[in-house]
């Protein structure tokens, strides 16, 4: 990889886990192989992969994948499985920013974020700066999504207390 891409320029690095199709065998009591990969979205390259230990999950393999990368200046994205304070801290310690998906695996945080968005809708001056609706039909399903962004760091100041040192910056949210 260093010969092809000696320095990882500032870009999005997506960390995600996948199960290797056909690698398990119930009859021989062999579990499917689960891998965590780092994908350089701009260069369309897999930068690193780690096999998840049996009877474990992605949370244990993500730090290993991150440690193998020079992430300074990059933006690391993770799904809800990676929404962990220790993982966020490691990303920041390695000089990168992050975007973490949040679902009910962090129930208190998910509830607090939902309350902030509900409260933001009540302000006289709109603080929800951008909303993107999306309608997608794939795999025989119709999926409706929307994304809203609060750009005002004052509104999100409670995150600083919850995730101190976890990528918070006064000019925006990491």
Reading the chain (174 residues) residue by residue, the pLDDT tens digits are 556 655 556 789 999 998 888 887 778 877 788 899 999 888 788 888 998 887 778 889 999 999 999 898 999 999 988 988 899 889 989 999 888 888 888 888 888 888 888 877 777 665 665 666 777 888 788 888 777 777 777 777 766 556 645 444 433 343
**Cα distance between the two ends of the chain:** 28
Amino acid 2: pLDDT: 57
Residue written as token pair 């193998």: 68
How many C-beta neighbours within 10 Å does residue 3 have?
5
Amino acid 164: pLDDT: 47
> Six-digit token pair at 130?
């951008």
How many C-beta neighbours within 10 Å does residue 134 have?
9
Amino acid 12: pLDDT: 92
The residue count for the chain? 174
- DSSP tag of 173: -
Which CATH superfamily is 1-101 part of? Ribonuclease H-like superfamily/Ribonuclease H (3.30.420.10)
Domain ranges in the chain are 1-101, 102-169
Helix, strand, coil shares of the chain as percentages rounded to 5? Answer: 25, 30, 45
Across the chain, what does the average pLDDT equal? 79
């Amino acid at each position: 990889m260093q010969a092809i891409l000696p320095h990882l320029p500032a870009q999005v690095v997506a960390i995600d886990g996948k199960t290797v199709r056909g690698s398990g065998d119930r009859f021989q009591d062999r579990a499917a192989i689960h891998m965590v990969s780092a994908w350089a979205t701009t260069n369309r390259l897999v930068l690193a992969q780690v096999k998840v230990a049996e009877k474990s999950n992605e949370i244990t393999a993500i730090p290993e994948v991150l440690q193998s990368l020079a992430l300074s200046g990059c933006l690391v994205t993770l799904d809800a499985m990676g929404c962990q304070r220790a993982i966020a801290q490691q990303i920041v310690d390695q000089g990168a920013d992050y975007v973490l998906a949040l679902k009910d695996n962090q129930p208190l945080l998910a509830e607090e974020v939902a309350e902030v968005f509900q409260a933001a809708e009540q302000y006289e001056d709109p603080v929800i700066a951008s909303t993107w609706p999306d309608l997608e039909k794939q795999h025989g399903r119709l999926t409706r999504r929307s994304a809203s962004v609060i750009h005002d760091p004052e509104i999100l100041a409670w995150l600083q207390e919850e995730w101190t040192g976890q990528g918070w910056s006064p000019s925006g949210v990491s």
